[in-house]
Every structure is written in C-alpha cells, then in structure tokens.
Amino acid sequence: MPAVFIRPCRIEDSDAILSLAKMAGPGMSNLPADPALLHKKIKKSIASFHKKITHPSDEYYFFILETTDTHEIIGCCAIVAAVGKDYPFYNYKVSREELVSISLGIHKSIDLLYLVHDYTDASELCALFLSPAHRKSKYGRLLSLCRFLFIAEYPNRFCEKLIAEMRGIFDEQGKSTFWEGLARHFFNIDYHVADHMSTLGNKQFISDLMPRCPIYVPLLPKETQAVIGQVHPAAKPALLFLQREGFRYQRYIDIFDGGPVVEAPVEFLRAVTQSVNATVDKIIDEIKSGVCILISNCSLDFRTCITLVPEILDRKIIIDKATADILQVKIGDKVRYIGF
C-alpha cells in the first residue's frame, strides 16, 4: 500500500497548511504563515481546478502530501499558471559589462543588476515544503515530480516555460544578507514586511522605490556580493532535483533575497517528455514486487502516489486495490506514470 499520496488542497486543510507555513521560516513567500492569505490561496486553487481553460492566466494549483494511514498532511507544493498577469513579476538580471582601457592595459569584467520583468507569461513552481520529520524519505522528490505529471496531462493550462525562484541566503537571525546590503537602503523596512506586502499583491512600492539605474555589484558590501545567486542550504536538494530535470540558472535572481531563479522549457523536461499514459488493465489485491513508478490519474481531481507494478506491456498496467482507491480509478481508466 502506498504510504503517502498527493491531492488538491481543500478548505479543511487550512490549519494543517498553516502549521507547515510556520515551520518553513523566512524566504518562503509563496507559503506565508498568514491564515487569511493561505485561505485565499486555497480558495483560488479550488476555483482554478474547476475552471475551463483555453490558455493559462492567473490560475493557482495547490497540492498537499497526505499519509495514507493517519491522513496527516506533511507537505505541499503549487504551480502558478502564468506570472506577471495581474502585476509585474520583478527580478534582477545579472548582466556583465566589459571595461577596457588600452592606454592603462586594464580589462575588467563588472557585474550589474538590472531590474526587469522578463518572466511574464512563464508558469512558476512554488510553495514546495516538506515537514522536516520526513526529509530523509523520497517525498520531496514526489512533491516536485507530481507537478510535472499534472503539467504533462494538462499542457493547455500552462505556459511554454517553467521557472522556480529558489530561496536565498538568510543568517541565523533570519535576516536576508542580500536585503540588508541592498534593498534596505531604498525601502527602509524589514525584509519580512516587504515580502509580505509583495505576497499580498502590492507590487507598486517596488516600482516606486527600487533604483531605476543598474546597480554595479562591486559597489555592494562583500557579504552581499557573495550571496548573489546563492541558494539557501534547505533548498539545495530541491535545486539539484530541478537541475537534473532540465532547469538552468540564467543569471536572474530574486530582488529581495538574491536567490537564483531557474528555468526550463516545458517540452524539454524529463518528467514531461518521458511520462506515459496507460490503461488500467487489472486491479489485484496486492503486488509484492515489480517496478517502482510514480503514477497519477488523468482527472482534474488529481491524485498521485508511488507504487509497485508488474511489467507494463502495450501501455496496459496492473495496479493493486490500494493504489486504485487512492487514484480513484477503475479498470479501463487512463493513468499517467513515470519511473521513480
């Protein structure tokens, strides 16, 4: 029997999601420890799953990871269908300028930060969090992969490019090194206040107060320079996973904490291109050995779990009763799977 499964978030999950958000700590702006804001996100997710889509807009898909025995919610993840629709999606582009003086024999490469919103019309992976008590399992990988199966099944709901903002560096007191060395000079408020305002959808203060000229990186404090494009230790496993799936850092960073933004065309993602549809051929009581796969139903009431199956032939699949119950499928129904 699968130990955990993925499903869409419900209103009654609000308290459990809030508990996860409180564990997450600073820098998880897409998982705010704010009951009203979380409730709003869950309601938007429910509406998005039921919405008829011709092209991606501001939809938000929120998933939770639940144990099959105790029904405890131990993780979550989400997808924003298209960023930059309601308000600009700001980043810094780290560009390089070559400075040359022939007379002095000097050639220097200088990095500059340009405020841009180049990722308009990209889909965003966000809000991935797994309870610390379960991080030595494969559940983090499950949380990441499940979103790719959903995107593969419903490509019309998403943009051609996927991005993920990785959490930047924070000190032991929860302060952002990048914020303290740069943004504080312009905003004169704490990181957490600015991040919360941005999460609420108030982006106007960014365009009002951010410097309009490029920022020369060598003029920033050394400790600020050192964290540009660096990922928080807790986010390194997620970054490595995304890189294996095809994501790359293209020198865009978060404007508040300096963490890297990684991106990939959907058509090049391993889990999208290699996941396969199959038909449920048989449902049996128990499968004790076989191939380990990640399997999902093909419904907007999306369910995903890790399970064992016998050899798959001619896109016909045999699953056990526990897996069928979790996925809410019967013989003849379509499923999607990939090796796990």
Which uninterrupted H or E stretch holds 22?
A: helix 14-24
Three-class secondary structure assignment of 166-211: CCCCECCCCCEHHHHHHHHHHHCCCHHHHHHHHHCCCCHHHHHHCC
CA distance 126 to 30: 6
Vertex 240: Cα angle to 306 and 251 (nearest 5):
135
Active centre residues (catalytic): 232
Write out the E strands in the chain: 4-8, 60-67, 73-80, 91-101, 106-116, 123-130, 161-165, 215-216, 248-253, 260-265, 276-284, 291-297, 304-309, 316-320, 334-339
